[in-house]
Amino acid sequence: MARKAKAGFTPSRAKNLVGVAKVVAPALIPVLAPVIARGAGLLSERYDRFRARRLGIDVADIGKYSGYGARLHARIVGFAESLEAVRAADSDWASKTEARLAQLLAAVRAAERMPAARRKAAHRAVSTDLEMLEQELLRRLNVR
């Protein structure tokens, strides 16, 4: 008479699988470790490229911008670089704006250690100031 195969997962099958795993796993680890390490490296690289694209910066500069205020920090630095285009026409405004950008950058850095509600409020205030400065820069560059 033929025996019927039991369906399901029984304690004896689990015990057999654990025994097989104890034998096979040590042999697979040296084979799988480099593959896993390579995969982790690729994921890390892709994530860095994604973050850099979101911040609008080069991947090489990703280490400079971290934390909750990374986007604002990148915007401020980018704005400071754009300010050079106006410096020849109006160096007084450019100097005042650079001083204001330094204050905004200090506020972003200080907000990193604040409780979430205060940090978000500080970031909103910095963002509003930065938007006004960007509008003024565009006006001075005759961009409507």
Residues 83-111: tens digit of each pLDDT: 888 888 888 999 999 999 999 999 999 99
88 and 38: one domain? no
pTM over cut 0.85:
no
Summarised one tens digit per residue, pLDDT across range 36-89 is: 999 999 999 999 999 999 998 999 999 999 899 999 999 999 999 888 888 888
The answer to whether residue 52 is domain-embedded is: yes
User: Does 81 fall in a domain?
Assistant: yes
Give percent of the chain above pLDDT 90.
65
H or E stretch at 73: helix 70-82
Same domain, 24 and 89: no
Please say whether the beta carbons of 104 and 129 come within 8 A: yes
Q: Both 57 and 103 in a single domain?
A: no
The letter for the amino acid at 136 is: E
Structural domain boundaries enclosing 117: 66-140
Q: What is the pLDDT of residue 71?
A: 94
Binned at pLDDT 50, 70 and 90, residue 29 comes out as confident
CA dihedral 110, 116, 121, 127 (to 10 degrees): 70
Handedness of CA 42, 47, 48, 50 (dihedral sign): positive
Mark whether 94 and 135 lie in a shared domain: yes
pLDDT of residue 3: 57
Give the C-alpha separation, 59 to 19, whole Å.
47
Identify the CA nearest to 89 among candidates 138, 134, 140. Answer: 140
Domain count, the chain: 2
